Amino acid sequence: MDLTWHDEIDPALVREFLQAVAAVDGRPEVDPGGPLPREFRGGRHLVAATGDRLAGYAHVAADAFGRAAAELLVRPDERGRGLGTALVGEVTATHPGVRVWAHGDHPAAARIAARLGLAKVREMWQMRLEFGDPLPEPVWPDGIAVRAFAPGRDEDAVVAVNKRAFDWHPEQGALTAADVVATEAEPWFDPAGFFLAADAADRVVGFHWTKTHPDGTGEVYVVGVDPAAQGGGLGRALTLQGLHHLRERGVPAVILYVEADNAPAVKVYQRLGFTRSDADIQYAAIPPNGA
């Protein structure tokens, strides 16, 4: 099966493919009538197709640091025929140094990585909390008030805090006001579950953006705290504010994603009752000098 690169691709074609993958794997989450998920927009597209049906697909785009990163998927009924290896081989040959995501840390992905000489360079944990025991109440630092996000007013303030809080993060650090506005149009968006922490001058210093998935699972979507406001328990208070909101909505469980090596954040979440439930891995070729 031929592999071809495209600078543009029909979103409907990709959406149908992603929905077929999600029906078996449980992700990616795709809105049947909405835009493609953020990680599949722009960039370049590598396609393995039979007629107008995608059998395999890879999306390559630069992260916040200018490094190439790839999302790569094979249609469930096309797996086990070497297509995944072919896609990864083409992506890594065309984009030296690219980082390739394997969602779910699947053994098949690990075998492909070993076959092509790729190593783990990043691990992101999915953590999960099943609601049971009562949650602690949030304790806010002096002078901090919490309010709901106001569409059309707060986008720039959130992006400014996000940029300072996640200047180290390859994906989250690239968030723009246009990204926020685009997300406001998605079916799951609910400003009542998007909490902003503001100081006495109403300057936003932190936020907790929650999400409820179609299956009813809640998510700690993003918690961001301005570095100048860190160290006083604001992150924990914001997290608890969102958890109380999700529990009141009746969700049975909450997930979140966190870098495995972010020990302070992992510790906060573990103390709240979250446990590791899955992992996403990035693989890349390691230069001979290890740089």
How many domains is the chain partitioned into structurally? 2
Cα(9)–Cα(228) distance, rounded to whole angstroms? 43
Cα(46)–Cα(14) distance, rounded to whole angstroms? 11
Residue 274 lies in a domain: no
Residues 118 and 136 in one domain: no
Handedness of CA 34, 37, 38, 44 (dihedral sign): negative
Residues 146 and 237 in one domain: yes
Residue 223 lies in a domain: yes
- Residue ranges of the chain with per-residue pLDDT less than 70: 287-291
Residue 276: both structure tokens together: 């590791």
The whole-number pLDDT of residue 289 equals 56
Binding residues: 72-74, 171, 211, 219, 223-225, 230-236, 257, 262-267
Residue 136 lies in a domain: yes
Residues 164 and 207 in one domain: yes
Residues 137 and 118 in one domain: no
Residue 231 lies in a domain: yes
Phi, psi of 116 (to 5 degrees): -100, 5
Residue 257 lies in a domain: no
Cα(227)–Cα(206) distance, rounded to whole angstroms? 9
Residues 62 and 155 in one domain: no
Instruction: Enter the DSSP assignment of 190.
Output: -
- Percentage of residues in the chain with pLDDT exceeding 70? 98
- Helix 177-184 to helix 155-165 angle (10° resolution) is 120
Q: How much is the pTM?
A: 0.89
Distances in Å between the alpha carbon of 288 and those of 98, 117, 210, 285?
16, 12, 42, 9
The pLDDT tens digits for 16-29 are 999 999 999 988 98
Could you give the count of Cα atoms lying within 13 Å of 92 in the half-sphere of its Cβ? 22
Residue type at 197? A
Residue 260 lies in a domain: no
Residues 68 and 95 in one domain: yes
Residues 7 and 119 in one domain: yes
Residues 114 and 208 in one domain: no
Residue 75 lies in a domain: yes
The three-point CA angle 245-169-185 to 5° equals 50
Cα(245)–Cα(237) distance, rounded to whole angstroms? 12
Residue 187's domain is classified under what CATH number? Answer: 3.40.630.30
Residue 109: both structure tokens together: 């992905």
Residues 153 and 90 in one domain: no
Paired with 127 in beta bridges are 256, 276
The whole-number pLDDT of residue 51 equals 84
Binding residues for acetyl-CoA: 72-74, 223-225, 230-236, 262-267
Q: Domain range holding 214?
A: 132-251
Residue 85 lies in a domain: yes
Cα(14)–Cα(3) distance, rounded to whole angstroms? 15
Paired with 275 in beta bridges are 128
Residues 105 and 141 in one domain: no
Residues 117 and 171 in one domain: no
Residues 9 and 91 in one domain: yes
The whole-number pLDDT of residue 287 equals 67
Q: Residue 276: name the closest of 129, 131, 127 by CA.
A: 127
The whole-number pLDDT of residue 219 equals 98
Residue type at 146? V
